[in-house]
A and B are shown apart, each in its own frame.
Chain A
Amino acid sequence: MTDEAKKEEQQAPKAEAAAPVLHVAPGPHAFSTSLTTRRMMFDVLLALVPVFAASLWQFRLYTVIQLVICMVSALLAETLFTAMRKKPILIRDGSALVTGAILAFSLPAKAPWYVGAVGSFVAIGIGKVIFGGLGQNIFNPAMLGRAFVMIAFPAFLGATAYVVPDAAIDGLSRATPLTTLKQLGQNTGLLPLFLGTTNGSLGETSALACLLGGAYLCLRRTASWEIPAGIVSAVAAIAGLMQWLAPVAGWTVLHELFSGALLFGAFYIATDPVTSPLTPRGKFVFGLGVGALVMLIRKLSGYPEGVMFAVLIMNAVVPLINQWTIPTPVGGVVLEKKS
């Protein structure tokens, strides 16, 4: 044995002996390295690439500008708020970047810079940090930020805010598909909805891009497939029922699924692990709830789209869902004390 080995041999056990709990070192001593919190956040950013590409194609520079505004503001906000609370700065977990990006993709192209900035500050400050940081918040931070700016600046986020008559970009001069449907009773073709050559929030227009990125997230298990599955099932079921009861010519279940923020919300927003339930069954129930609420808002309220409110409302129900879906352990519940 080398001298070094001897030294190690004496040192290594000593280092262990200094572990917090006397002589009981925390096991397991093996861990999966395929996934870390940071990697999960990076996965989301990676999965947003197709959405970014589709958005860039449709809205050009607007996409880049909104993204930069929101992501930079989110980072600034996180630094500022965590410093104020004298908490260690956790920027490295990447969650602020994800929040910023999701917020940017849910804004209209022409929203002024301060909409994104205020939205990001609210998302991080109220949405996350005051709850105690990543993992503690109840509401999806990006949606909370968006809800705030929607109320604070209705003119920039209402249905009309999406339309820019003199825009050089063709898509921008028309109202969003759901607005045209609601107000004018006009339909949009399935292909434009699928590819994303329609107007809408920056990240929501292309169903194809959302499906691509969403598939990646689900395959990586960074997003739980049960949530989008629940949302899509609920929307398809309700839309199918409505089509059967009160058909609208040229507007099918697929139109309902591909329009608005439905797929973007299903894959990128509702799947936020922190604000969704823990068990697979709970996740599916959560998805069903979001889907049902989206349809309710789309059809019965004054708003053309309801993903944001649906997610926020269901976020509030998550603790209840968790309660209802406590799984039965293998072997049943403990009836008597262990002897």
Chain B
Amino acid sequence: MGKLLEMTAVLTGLPGTGDFARGVHPPERKTLAQDAAIEVMPPPAQVVIPLLQHTGAPCEPVVKVKDEVKLGDKIGDATGFISAPVHASINGSVLMPSVTTLPNGRHVKTIPIKAGPDQLAGDALKSEVLGGNWPTSGLERFAPDQIATAARDAGLVGLGGAAFPTHVKLVRNEKRPVDTLLVNGCECEPYLTSDYRLMLEFPGPVVTGALLAAQAAGAKQIVVAIEDNKPAAADAMRKAAEGTAVKIAVVHTKYPMGGERQVIPAVLKREVPTGGLPLDVGVVVINVATAAALARAVVRGKALTHRVVTVTGAGIARPKNVLVPVGISYQELIDFCGGLTPDAARVIAGGPMMGFTVADLKVPVTKGTSGVTVLTHADLARVDETACVRCGRCVDVCPLHLVPTKLALASKVEDWDLAKKYHLLACCECGCCAYTCPAAIPLVQLMRKGKAQMPR
């Protein structure tokens, strides 16, 4: 293994070029964890399940203190259409509910569960979640709405980071027909390798999940997009997809290829309208890990209780890819990976480009946590901020063709007319501009501030 950058874009029979205009090439740093096979974390003594782990409405608890719960039991139910239930990720008993602040800044209620004596663990757990046989034929026995309902009941959300409830994307909409299901295997955040390991080690559930999702959404074409820095994953996926309708598209390695607005044009040559959804151009995008979780939900009837998390960075003693129960604390996860190194300086939920810093290591890992990246002081050493020199570099890299410096200025001085004129709301906060800015201006922070304050 370890062969990087060997292939180039291959998109047989697809209209895209495998690339999008602009974007950046941050150092990949994937070698830290890419060769570490997925390990199963030993059962924890306790998990803390947030009642809001997705984009949308929070859940209502459906268990009481001291209730005995089993792995996969529903403990919080969805309250709206754009919502997803949460489930017990271990066997045990319910403790007093509490409140926590997730790395993205949201205060959420949580249900802690104290572990009981017997737990599904080790290889048995791994094979229940990801291993074993995954059918690629005879899936017609699952009706489209049955698949969407299974996704909802299993509490499925996008596992790539945004955590949008999956069933919402899969429910058919007469007015907006879907022709293509795009399975997103572009793990464009530096450092992270959980999707890579999943495709490499367990391509089976990804293919099954892709077929099921396409069936639910009514998509005829199924494409898995993988960047060309993951040739081994592309090979594994190709083998697993043999004889099925699933096509593998190899696209260029560039940040933020994993964004819907980048990967759809790269593969299908279609532009998602600003303020719109992939659905507007007949596409549903799900992440590879979401596809695998969908397969588990539909074929095995199991809820989303576990996920693969990459724990990596120079600030971690032994970088790993770990299969963890939802609700485990960052602290435990980090300890399992040998703990922090002495020069560790910043713990990030997700990758360095779009991740949020973790203020308190007691917070739980959620469904949307794709990685934990720990950076050192050396990684973070940077020159001081200077005035904007109007060099236009931010313009040159913005994948949405915005003018970041003007947006930042508009939100700094709270000139919302200017912000509108330069399309502040179109910004996806990918961070390309701030990554590049020679004056070290915190552009994304300013965009977020502006988007939050701007009257709509």
Q: Is the CB of B344 within 8 A of A12?
A: yes
Q: Which residues of A contact B423 (CB under 8 A)?
A: 329, 333-334
Q: Which of B65-73, B128-136, B174-182, B333-341 contacts A (4 or more CB under 8 A)?
A: B333-341
Q: Which residues of A contact B373 (CB under 8 A)?
A: 29
Closest partner residue, chain B, to A25 (CB atom): B357
The CA-CA distance from A302 to B389 in the complex, in Å, is: 35
The CA-CA distance from A2 to B335 in the complex, in Å, is: 12
Q: Is the CB of A16 within 8 A of B346?
A: yes
Q: Is the CB of A135 within 8 A of B390?
A: yes
The CA-CA distance from A28 to B382 in the complex, in Å, is: 12
Interface residues of B in 316-361 (CB under 8 A from A): 317, 334-335, 338-348, 352-361
Q: Is the CB of B352 within 8 A of A30?
A: yes
Does A24 lie at the interface of the complex (its beta carbon under 8 Å from any beta carbon of B)?
yes
Q: Is the CB of A24 within 8 A of B438?
A: no
Q: Which residues of B contact A61 (CB under 8 A)?
A: none
Looking at chain A's contact residues, the main secondary structure is loop
Query: Scoring A residues 13 to 50 as 1 if CB is less than 8 Å from chain B, else 0, what string do you get?
Result: 10111010111111111111101111110000000000
The CA-CA distance from A13 to B101 in the complex, in Å, is: 14
Which of A29, A135, A329, A330 has the largest number of chain B CB atoms within 10 A?
A29
Closest partner residue, chain B, to A282 (CB atom): B392
Q: Is the CB of B272 within 8 A of A331?
A: yes
Q: Is the CB of B261 within 8 A of A331?
A: yes
Q: Is the CB of B105 within 8 A of A12?
A: no
Does A332 lie at the interface of the complex (its beta carbon under 8 Å from any beta carbon of B)?
yes
Closest partner residue, chain B, to A14 (CB atom): B359
Q: Is the CB of A329 within 8 A of B386?
A: no
Does A337 lie at the interface of the complex (its beta carbon under 8 Å from any beta carbon of B)?
yes
Q: Is the CB of B392 within 8 A of A273?
A: yes
Q: Is the CB of A328 within 8 A of B401?
A: yes
Q: Is the CB of A27 within 8 A of B353?
A: yes
The CA-CA distance from A37 to B388 in the complex, in Å, is: 9
Q: Is the CB of B392 within 8 A of A135?
A: no
Q: Is the CB of A334 within 8 A of B403?
A: no
Interface residues of B in 426-449 (CB under 8 A from A): 426, 431, 434-440, 442, 444-445, 448
Q: Is the CB of A135 within 8 A of B456?
A: no
Report the contact-size class of chain A (Cβ under 8 Å from the partner). Answer: 35 or more
Q: Is the CB of A17 within 8 A of B359?
A: yes
Contacts A16-B346, A273-B390, A334-B274: A33 and B382 contacting too (C-beta < 8 A)?
yes
Q: Which residues of A contact B425 (CB under 8 A)?
A: 334, 338
Q: Is the CB of B421 within 8 A of A39?
A: no
Q: Is the CB of A331 within 8 A of B393?
A: no
Q: Is the CB of B392 within 8 A of A330?
A: no
Closest partner residue, chain A, to B429 (CB atom): A27
The CA-CA distance from A129 to B382 in the complex, in Å, is: 26
Closest partner residue, chain B, to A30 (CB atom): B352
Which of A38, A280, A333 has the largest number of chain B CB atoms within 10 A?
A333
Q: Is the CB of B435 within 8 A of A278?
A: no
Q: Which residues of A contact B21 (CB under 8 A)?
A: 330
The CA-CA distance from A15 to B358 in the complex, in Å, is: 11
Q: Is the CB of A17 within 8 A of B360?
A: yes
- The minimal Cβ–Cβ distance linking B75 to chain A, given in whole angstroms, is 25
Q: Which residues of A contact B27 (CB under 8 A)?
A: 30
Closest partner residue, chain B, to A136 (CB atom): B387
Does A166 lie at the interface of the complex (its beta carbon under 8 Å from any beta carbon of B)?
no
Q: Which residues of B contact A23 (CB under 8 A)?
A: 101, 103, 105, 359
Does B405 lie at the interface of the complex (its beta carbon under 8 Å from any beta carbon of A)?
yes
User: Given A29-B352, A30-B379, A135-B389, list of 7 further CB < 8 A pairs?
Assistant: A13-B358, A28-B444, A29-B348, A277-B392, A331-B273, A331-B275, A337-B456
14 A-B residue pairs with Cβ-Cβ distance under 8 Å, sorted by A, are A6-B339, A12-B347, A17-B359, A25-B359, A26-B445, A27-B357, A29-B348, A29-B375, A29-B379, A32-B436, A37-B439, A133-B387, A331-B276, A334-B426
By Cβ-Cβ distance, the 7 closest A-B pairs, closest first, are A25-B357, A135-B387, A28-B431, A26-B445, A331-B274, A30-B352, A273-B391
- B residues contacting A by CB (< 8 A) are 21, 24, 26-27, 101, 103-105, 190, 261, 265, 271-276, 317, 334-335, 338-348, 352-361, 373, 375, 379-380, 382-383, 386-393, 395-396, 399-403, 405-406, 421-423, 425-426, 431, 434-440, 442, 444-445, 448, 456
